Amino acid sequence: MRPFTYERATSAQDAAAKAASMPGARFIAGGTNLLDLMKLEIETPTHLIDVNGLGMDKIEEIDGGGLRIGALVRNTDLAADKRVREDYAVLTRALVAGASGQLRNKATTAGNLLQRTRCPYFYDVNMPCNKRKPGSGCAAIGGFSRQLAVVGTSEACIATHPSDMAVAMRVLDASVETIRPDGTTRAISIAEFHRLPGDTPHRDTVLDKGEMIISVALPRQRGGTHIYRKVRDRASYAFALVSVAAVIGRDGRGAVALGGVAHKPWREAEADALLPKGAGPVADRLFAEAAPREDNAFKITLAKRTIASVIAEAREA
């Protein structure tokens, strides 16, 4: 691990301003992803800004319905919150399916959304990776791609986003609330927050330099059956090969989002509209532009079967 300096932020705007003005500065809270990447010298920040003391650790009700989740709410606390368990059960299920209890006790809401890919070539500093070093190439293309993306890819990157929580947030139509270095704030739809790789895969999100997440807002929910189904190589401590988050009402209408198949949580409005017609049309729409590799083509069949299982379970609920 390379040397770095450290400070504790005194306010959200101060943290954002410092991050914008200091080259190589990074925010740190739980550190469950960042510290690992620093040890491997994949991330080499020169300055860490500790935001743990900023008080953004509350879950509050929003006027008119919905919840506002502070950026520093730990995954364990979010999953256990009574309001989340009752009204946003898909989120609780996704959080419990991710990582270990020890990691959930430290990991934060913002950090979960911002975690980097688990592509093996990203983690191997001896291999070219456009996400780690822009312009160096993508060793995954033509390499071992079993865990990597099958849709929304580009010629520069076929990595997947690893978060379970983000997939549930996507199906719930969450919005990410941020503060900029000048103190202004904005709300970003979760649908727009994560980027597809294109020719700039090193940019995971639409955040500007220094911009910091302060909370995530969940809109008022209208009920329905909440399901999170995660398919992985082993029962725990493994990232999804395919995951399905669904909120489906008694009339068969609702929303479905996928994890493990793209650079971001994968959802399409056209696929949601097809839910009353059954799993086949939904899956066909979601993978209409898929570009699988030899090692990961099985993900499409696996995802289609998982979607069918989830829809069948929702109809029987």
Mean pLDDT of 256-278: 97
Mean pLDDT of 148-154: 98
Mean pLDDT of 263-292: 97
Q: Beta 175-179 vs 212-218: how paired, if at all? A: antiparallel
Q: Could you give the 3-state DSSP secondary structure of residue 122?
A: helix
CA dihedral 61, 53, 90, 188 (to 10 degrees): 80
Rounded to the nearest integer, the mean pLDDT of the chain is: 96
Closest CA to 218 of 87, 94, 115: 87
Per-residue pLDDT of 110-126, as tens digits, reads 999 999 999 999 999 99
Over 80: is that where the pLDDT of 165 sits?
Answer: yes
pLDDT band, very low/low/confident/very high, at 272 (cuts 50, 70, 90) = very high
Q: Write out the residue limits of the CATH 3.30.390.50 domain(s) in the chain.
A: 225-316
pLDDT at 237: 80
pLDDT at 222: 78
Please say whether the dihedral angle defined by the alpha carbons of residues 32, 172, 230 and 85, taken in this order, is positive or negative: positive
pLDDT at 221: 87
Per-residue pLDDT of 207-253, as tens digits, reads 999 999 999 999 998 789 999 999 999 888 889 999 999 999 988 99
Q: Do the beta carbons of residue 216 and residue 176 sit within 8 Å?
A: yes
Name the token pair of 9.
Answer: 């932020």
Can you name the CATH fold of 225-316?
Answer: Enolase-like; domain 1 (3.30.390)
- Alpha helices per DSSP H over the chain: 12-21, 34-39, 75-80, 82-87, 89-97, 101-106, 109-114, 120-123, 165-171, 190-193, 269-273, 279-286, 298-316
Element spanning 309, H or E: helix 298-316
Over 80: is that where the pLDDT of 1 sits?
Answer: no
Mean pLDDT of 147-175: 98
Over 90: is that where the pLDDT of 100 sits?
Answer: no
pLDDT at 10: 95
pLDDT at 236: 80
Q: Do the beta carbons of residue 203 and residue 43 sit within 8 Å?
A: no
Cα 1 to Cα 25, 49, 284: the distances in Å are: 15, 17, 46
Yes or no: is domain 5-50 CATH 3.40.50.800? no
pTM attached to this predicted model:
0.96
Share of the chain above pLDDT 90, in %: 94
Closest CA to 122 of 150, 162, 152, 151: 162
pLDDT at 235: 83
Mean pLDDT of 16-37: 96
Name the token pair of 148.
Answer: 């990597």
Give the amino acid at 101. G
Q: Do the beta carbons of residue 248 and residue 309 sit within 8 Å?
A: no
Per-residue pLDDT of 47-88, as tens digits, reads 999 999 999 999 999 998 999 999 999 999 999 999 999 999
Q: Beta 242-248 vs 225-231: how paired, if at all? A: antiparallel
Over 80: is that where the pLDDT of 22 sits?
Answer: yes
**Burial classification of residue 248, based on how many CB atoms lie within 10 Å of its CB (0-12 exposed, 13-18 middle, 19 or more buried):** buried
Q: Write out the residue limits of the CATH 3.30.43.10 domain(s) in the chain.
A: 5-50
Mean pLDDT of 299-309: 98
Over 90: is that where the pLDDT of 93 sits?
Answer: yes
Over 80: is that where the pLDDT of 146 sits?
Answer: yes
pLDDT at 101: 87
> Can you tell me the distance from the alpha carbon of 260 to that of 94, in angstroms, rounded to the nearest whole number?
13
In degrees, rounded to 5, the angle at the alpha carbon of residue 59 between the alpha carbons of residues 53 and 63 is: 125
